[in-house]
Amino acid sequence: MNDANRIRSIKRVLVLILLLNFLVAGAKGIVGWFSHSLSVSADAFHSLLDGASNVVGLIAITIAAAEPDSDHPYGHRKFEVLGALGIGVLLAGASWNILTEAWARFHQEREIEAHWPSYAVMAATMAINIAVAVYERRRGRELQSEVLMADSAHTRSDVFATAGVIASLLFARIGVPWVDMVVAIAIAALIAWAAVRVALSGASVLADRAVLDPVEVQKVARTVEGVIDCHEVRTRGTRDAIFADLRIHLPPDLSLVKAHEIGHLVERRLKDAYPGLRDIVVHVEPHEHDPSM
């Protein structure tokens, strides 16, 4: 799949999930308003941020799709990672807001009015969240999108949060309202953990953490006839836009033309093995040459 088709596919996924997230957030918000449940309201806020993260993702993926230019010769893919980090910031803010509301509720309790329609709505939204999480994760892997993978982690946390909310409503119905506040705090913790995971994932890309296992890359390079050794493999970027450089050792009596051909064969073999490779720099050295020189 070329870049243009990939970007269009990611955008379609984000728009579909954006609409579903806003639908879920609205349904939970209505239940929270009428039931006076802090956990339901927190869960609605969680879902609303799912939709907001989709908007951030759409903006980020549009910027990331720009072609390389003189100022950005490696392209604009890291803007997609910045979008994922933006999602992390939204998650952290949501966690803090829920905790402050829980603290206020601790000092001034409100009666929770849990009715059976509330359970039906929450169960339906949980089913939607499960479907969204599975679909988005699958498409994120297929399209190798940092934004979709980050957003799917956010959506998965919503499933557990909603299950806890349903439990808190059941406890409120039998006269144990304090469970509602506990569940709200647990949701805040889930959101905070998702923020940490997203931040760590994005930071690893921005810090140029190795994307591919260098030993495996060396094995692939050595399958090319004429390559005696391979070393100093370095990779960076995202899974769908990897930049690599490596050194290969060739027999010293090869002509420059033949050495050049083998270098191109190594490049093609690696791109076949790793479709996400966008650019590879292959340094050719005669085998007797001391690489430390």
pLDDT recorded at residue 64: 65
Spatial distance between the Cα atoms of 151 and 111, rounded to a whole number of angstroms = 34
Cβ 91 vs Cβ 16: under 8 Å: no
- Chain centroid, CA 152 distance in Å: 7
pLDDT recorded at residue 111: 64
User: Average pLDDT per run of 10 along the chain, which is 293 residues long?
Assistant: 74 88 88 80 78 75 72 72 76 78 67 73 88 88 77 74 80 76 80 80 80 93 93 86 92 91 94 87 82 50
> What's the order of all strands across the beta sheet hosting 241-250?
229-238, 241-250, 277-286
pLDDT recorded at residue 293: 47
Q: What fold does the segment set 3-206 form as a domain?
A: Alpha-lytic protease prodomain-like (1.20.1510)
pLDDT recorded at residue 114: 66
pLDDT recorded at residue 179: 80
Spatial distance between the Cα atoms of 12 and 6, rounded to a whole number of angstroms = 10
CA-based angle 38:41:44, to the nearest 5?
Answer: 150
Eight-state DSSP code of residue 36: T
Please give the model's pTM, rounded to 2 decimal places: 0.60
Q: Could you tell me the residue ranges of all domains in the chain?
A: 3-206, 214-286
Q: What fold does the segment set 214-286 form as a domain?
A: Alpha-Beta Plaits (3.30.70)
Spatial distance between the Cα atoms of 281 and 259, rounded to a whole number of angstroms = 14
